[in-house]
Amino acid sequence: MKTLPLGQFVPGDSPVHRLDPRVKILSALLLSIVILNAGLAESIAVTMFLLAAAALSGLSARRITEALQPLVWFFAILFCLHLFFTDGRPIFPALPAVTYEGLERGLSVTWQFVSLVVSAAILTMTTAPSELVGGLEKLLRPFNRFGVPSYDIAIMVSVSLRFVPTLLEEVERMKEAQEARGADFASGSLVRRLKKMATLVIPLVLCTFRRADELALAMEGRGYHRGPRTYLRELKFTRIDYAALFAVMAFLVGVEALRFLPV
């Protein structure tokens, strides 16, 4: 079965799994603001926070590094760019491009991206996609009156997620059908292989439109209409959710306050 590997939901029953998705979404959002403004002390605090969250979520270190793996090259390039292209005091007299300031910027920016990915991974690995969509919908609901169609956005997102595996299967089928007639997707240069892939794109787009057409009919047949609807699970904050949200906010405000401490 083909699925997207990045940050895929890992079913479980940890305290982090059980939190209301809105708590997790808001925490990840607030955390990213702190991460993007972090200095050294904040970085250490946020790293400890992420480690604690990962430990509480019962996700193995391997799972989390797996989420980072596809981005390793991106991190490496990011680090090198900063290392070589930042002005400042050279570390090695023979290599004037590599500076202390570059090293510091490189480490800091790479850390920022790694932390963002890790916090997003903890969010998506501990929250079922449907819960994530439900949480998002409920967070957006107050903005209905300003013209944000929260219900329609939620349906769009959830239908897209629902069809990802179906479409991947379809691509696989088309590939096999073409290979059976002598197409060769495996050899040749990267450019050549990409060009060959174009023969998959057109039928895939056509098929997807046909699917969308039928899906629209089926949805209409089941009473779909724009605007308010109800759900199997109506999300509800428990005392633990309030406590967790409060704790996260208090912690992050505390971290931000570090900045103003005279050190």
Partner 1 sequence: MIEARGLIYRYDPDDAPVLEQVSLEIPEGQYVAIIGPNGCGKTTLVKHFNALLVPQEGEVLVDGLSTKDPKAHREIRRRVGMVFQNPDNQIVGMSVEEDVAFGPGNLGLAPAEIRGRVGVALETVGMLRLAKRAPHSLSGGEKRLVAIAGVLAMRPAYVVLDEPTSYLDPAGRERVLNVLGDLRQEGISVIHVSHSMDEIVDADRVVVMSEGRVLRDGPPRDVFREADVLRAVGLNTPQVTELMWRLRAHGCGVRQDVLSVEEAFQEISALIATGTGCRR
Contact footprint for partner 1 (CB under 8 A) = 1, 128-130, 133, 155, 158-159, 161-162, 165-166, 169, 211, 214-215, 217-225, 228-234
Q: Which is nearer to partner 1, 147 or 228 (CB)?
A: 228
CB of 159 to partner 1, least distance (A): 6
CB of 89 to partner 1, least distance (A): 54
d(CA 164, CA 159): 9
Q: Which is nearer to partner 1, 221 or 262 (CB)?
A: 221
Q: Which is nearer to partner 1, 182 or 221 (CB)?
A: 221
3-state secondary structure 36-104: HCCCHHHHHHHHHHHHHHHHHHCCCHHHHHHHHHHHHHHHHHHHHHHHHCCCCCEEECCEEEEEHHHHH
CB of 164 to partner 1, least distance (A): 9
d(CA 158, CA 194): 29
Q: Which is nearer to partner 1, 162 or 193 (CB)?
A: 162
Q: Which is nearer to partner 1, 33 or 156 (CB)?
A: 156
CB of 129 to partner 1, least distance (A): 5
> Is the distance from CB of 38 to CB of 112 less than 8 angstroms?
yes
CB of 14 to partner 1, least distance (A): 18
DSSP class of residue 184? -
Which H or E run includes 117? helix 100-126
Which H or E run includes 30? helix 21-36
Least Cα distance to 150 among 229, 237, 208, 95 occurs for 229
CB of 144 to partner 1, least distance (A): 15
Q: Which is nearer to partner 1, 17 or 105 (CB)?
A: 17
Q: Which is nearer to partner 1, 36 or 156 (CB)?
A: 156
d(CA 261, CA 253): 13
CB of 210 to partner 1, least distance (A): 8
Q: What number of H helices and E strands is found in the chain? A: 10, 2
